[in-house]
Amino acid sequence: MIAIKTLIFTVVVPGTIAVLIPQWLLSPAGARGSLALGISRYLGILLILAGALIYFRCAWDFTFAGKGTPAPIDPPEDLVVQGLYKYVRNPMYVGVLSTVIGQAVWFESTALFGYAVLVCLLFCTFVILYEEPVLRRKFGNSYERYRKTVPRWLPRLRKPRA
């Protein structure tokens, strides 16, 4: 049942953010401006694939290791610190944002780049104002230790000093 709820959430929320809205922005009704990236636009495909793989790996970890879903109304019962969560605290958001940026690069779309900036700001605001306080209350010291050792968005190149 948890896997079905994760699938439904994935279609509705990340599906809307990473597929539906970008497609609307690329349609004649939403299209605005174009960039000339040349052959480098093929990097967009890598970003799209990497972003999708990141998201699905994280959704898997939430469902099977955390015993919950990515939906804030049905979160994991256990703090998920395995898989990509060993390197950054919010890889799921990184994956979705990578997918949007990848589409902006692939389609050479200034509208999608602007949308990616908006998505990034919304993700940051949601994480800082809602998710982190909720995780502190729910998981207490274990979340605090995790927060101190694992960066929010970008992995560290070196291990932190003990």
Residue 161 forms part of a structural domain:
no
Residue with tokens 């908006």: 118
Supply the pLDDT for residue 135: 96
Buried b (16+ CB within 10 A) or exposed e, 53-63: ebbebbbebbb
Supply the pLDDT for residue 154: 92
Sequential pLDDT tens for the chain (162 residues)? 888 999 999 999 999 999 999 999 988 755 566 777 788 889 999 999 999 999 999 999 999 999 999 998 888 999 999 999 999 999 999 999 999 999 999 999 999 999 999 999 999 999 999 999 999 999 999 999 999 999 999 988 776 565
37: its two tokens: 């990236």
Residue 160 forms part of a structural domain:
no
Give residue 103's identity as a one-letter amino acid code.
Q
Residue 156 forms part of a structural domain:
no
Supply the pLDDT for residue 156: 81
Supply the pLDDT for residue 71: 92
Domain range holding 26?
Answer: 2-149
Residue 72 forms part of a structural domain:
yes
Give residue 128's identity as a one-letter amino acid code.
I
Residue 88 forms part of a structural domain:
yes
Confidence (pTM): 0.90
Q: 78-83: which pairs have CB atoms within 8 A and are 24 or more residues apart?
A: 79/135, 79/139, 79/142, 79/143, 79/146, 81/146, 81/150, 83/57, 83/58
Number of H helices, E strands in the chain: 6, 0
26: its two tokens: 């690329």
Residue 158 forms part of a structural domain:
no
CATH, residue 9: 1.20.120.1630
d(CA 78, CA 56): 18
d(CA 67, CA 85): 15
How does DSSP classify residue 41?
Answer: G
Q: How many domains does the structure of the chain reveal?
A: 1
Residue 155 forms part of a structural domain:
no
Supply the pLDDT for residue 10: 92
Among the listed residues 64, 62, 76, the one whose alpha carbon sits nearest the alpha carbon of residue 135: 76
Residue 124 forms part of a structural domain:
yes
